[in-house]
Amino acid sequence: MLRMEEWQQIRHLAAQQRSQRSIAEELGISRNTVAKALADEAPPRYARAGRPCAKLEPWRERTLAGVRRGLSGVRLL
């Protein structure tokens, strides 16, 4: 993933009328990456991957029902 600093540097070099090829060579990245960075109006954002299914998911409803009834953690266990 492209970091914010790299994105800014690509945009800065492009504003100086540098070609995509020369920017890619200078930064050591792909020309496709440079093209995508120039096409994006907003800087890159970190997005966390989805979490895997929890081991306790099958008991979620039963646990929530017990919490609603006011049961303590010991009683739920």
> Which class for 29: exposed (0-12), middle (13-18), buried (19 or more C-beta within 10 A)?
middle
Q: Residue range 53-72: average pLDDT? A: 89
Average pLDDT value over all residues in the chain: 91
pLDDT computed for residue 48 by the predictor: 84
- Residues 30-60 have pLDDT tens digits of 999 999 999 998 988 888 887 777 888 888 8
Percent of the chain with pLDDT over 70: 100
